[in-house]
Amino acid sequence: MEDVKVALLGCGTVGTQVARLLDEQAADLTARAGAWLHLTGIAVRDIDAPRDPAIDRTLLTTDVSELIAGANIVVELIGGIEPARSYILEAFEHGASVVTGNKALLAAHGPELYEAAARADVDLYYEAAVAGAVPVVYGLRESLAGDRITAVLGIVNGTTNYILDEMTTKGLDFDGVLAEAQRLGFAEADPTADVDGFDAAAKCAILASLAFHSRVAMDQVHVEGIRSVTAEDISAATRAGYVIKLIASAKRRETGIEATVAPMLIPNSHPLASVHGPFNAVVIEAEAADRLMFYGRGAGGAPTASAVLSDAVAAASHIVEGGHAPRELIYADLPVLPIEESVSRYQVELAVDDTVGVLTEVSGIFARNGVSISAVGQEHERVLQGEDGLPGRAVCHLTVTTHAAPYAALQQTTAQLEESRYVAGIRRVMRVEEA
């Protein structure tokens, strides 16, 4: 039996599980790859740091370049842009295939890495970069190769999914849930990458590039996080038959690609509505297949290691028996649309004066901006207090749900609503996904 030399860069949560499973499941992996996946070394920063007992310490090294030079497959799990990018390019130059879980790098330098892999005639695999164990990269690159994808919608960040879940089930505010999640280790001390949507945006860029065979960079993704979602937003959504989820959305329109990350109202009947806690899921809409969903654990050492090892098996089998991973990332090269041209259904909740003529005024503003209304709901009235503490004006809550409308038209509509003398305030504006 041939052996394929595997170099592991990084020995954190995922790297440790990769090393353990390469050892424990050696017989199975060998049968499937047609070669022994032989772990020849693990590059770490500090050889003497404490490690899981599953790690064979004799494999540890700080000489990354020497390790890469002797490898057939380099598994990069150090994360970040540099030095990960340089190591991967080094691996390609030495004729090694690369398996990585590095979403930031893929989102920033995907095309460069694809080109380098093709030039070296080796594989680039990155299942673990999006949604942990969920095999959505396989889905988009290989199992949907015979179809035309129209949309990808994903819950791809576990921290925000957990926070929104907790807010929903316990009726708590964002700040309280975030603090508790940080205490429990479910959210980072600096939660920006998660709660402000940047982690999801990197994954959205990768998914959009794969789905539409076009260059979509992370900074072309319009990002709105979940900090502004209130307990009241969530209870209003629940009453109306929706859940609020942070959705990474990539859609093909006539003129290009729309890529956004934003909290959205998802109807309870939508398969994404029942994706809870640490689970991730990606819905793919394709012309022939219609709707597909891939669901599974979005993070964690062992689940992510499962994705890494499947990639390693595929790369090894190509080394031994020929063939290669899909190489054509970009052949369509559709433009990414500016956010102003993106189209969505919206729900706008207004506090308005409880007087005659309000509906005419409000619906007129929507109409003048070309935003078509699909439904209007009116909730219980209340009397606002004036600043002097005395009763102020009588208001009621108006919930306007629109048909699909351009972002720019919606922005103009809300600006004009703000100025209307009938409107006491805009309570919320949120995107709505179809059922």
Residue 430 Cβ, how far from a second copy at the closest point, in Å? 23
| Pick from 404, 342, 394: nearest CA to 370 | 404
* Pairing state between β 97-100 and 343-353: unpaired
Residue 148 Cβ, how far from a second copy at the closest point, in Å? 6
| Pick from 154, 159, 130, 140: nearest CA to 308 | 130
Residue 67 near residue 90 (C-beta atoms within 8 A)? no
Residue 203 among the catalytic residues: yes
Nearer to a second copy, 306 or 402 (CB): 306
Strand partners, 390: none
Of 5, 103, 170, 203, the catalytic one is 203
- How far from the centroid of its chain's Cα atoms is residue 36's Cα? 34
* Pairing state between β 73-76 and 124-125: unpaired
Nearer to a second copy, 140 or 400 (CB): 140
* Pairing state between β 373-385 and 391-402: antiparallel
- Going residue by residue from 346 to 385, which x/- string records binding to a second copy, judged by CB under 8 A? ----------------------------------------
Residue 306 Cβ, how far from a second copy at the closest point, in Å? 4
Residue 85 near residue 60 (C-beta atoms within 8 A)? no
- Going residue by residue from 273 to 292, which x/- string records binding to a second copy, judged by CB under 8 A? -x------x----xxxxxxx
| Pick from 135, 186, 183: nearest CA to 159 | 186
Residue 272 near residue 152 (C-beta atoms within 8 A)? no
310 binds a second copy (CB under 8 A): yes
Nearer to a second copy, 135 or 191 (CB): 135
SS3 233: helix
Which one of the spans 215-223, 318-326, 370-378, 405-413 is the region binding a second copy (CB under 8 A)?
A: 318-326
- Going residue by residue from 18 to 47, which x/- string records binding to a second copy, judged by CB under 8 A? ---x---x--xx-xxxx-------------
Q: List C-alpha distances in Å: 94 to 101, 121, 405.
A: 20, 11, 51
Q: Contact with a second copy (CB under 8 A): which of 8, 105, 107, 144?
A: 144
- Map the footprint of a second copy across residues 193-232, applying CB under 8 A: 213
Residues that bind a second copy (CB under 8 A): 17, 21, 25, 28-29, 31-34, 127, 133-135, 138-139, 142-148, 213, 271, 274, 281, 286-297, 300, 302-303, 305-314, 317-318, 321-324, 326, 328, 331-332
Residue numbers annotated as active site: 203
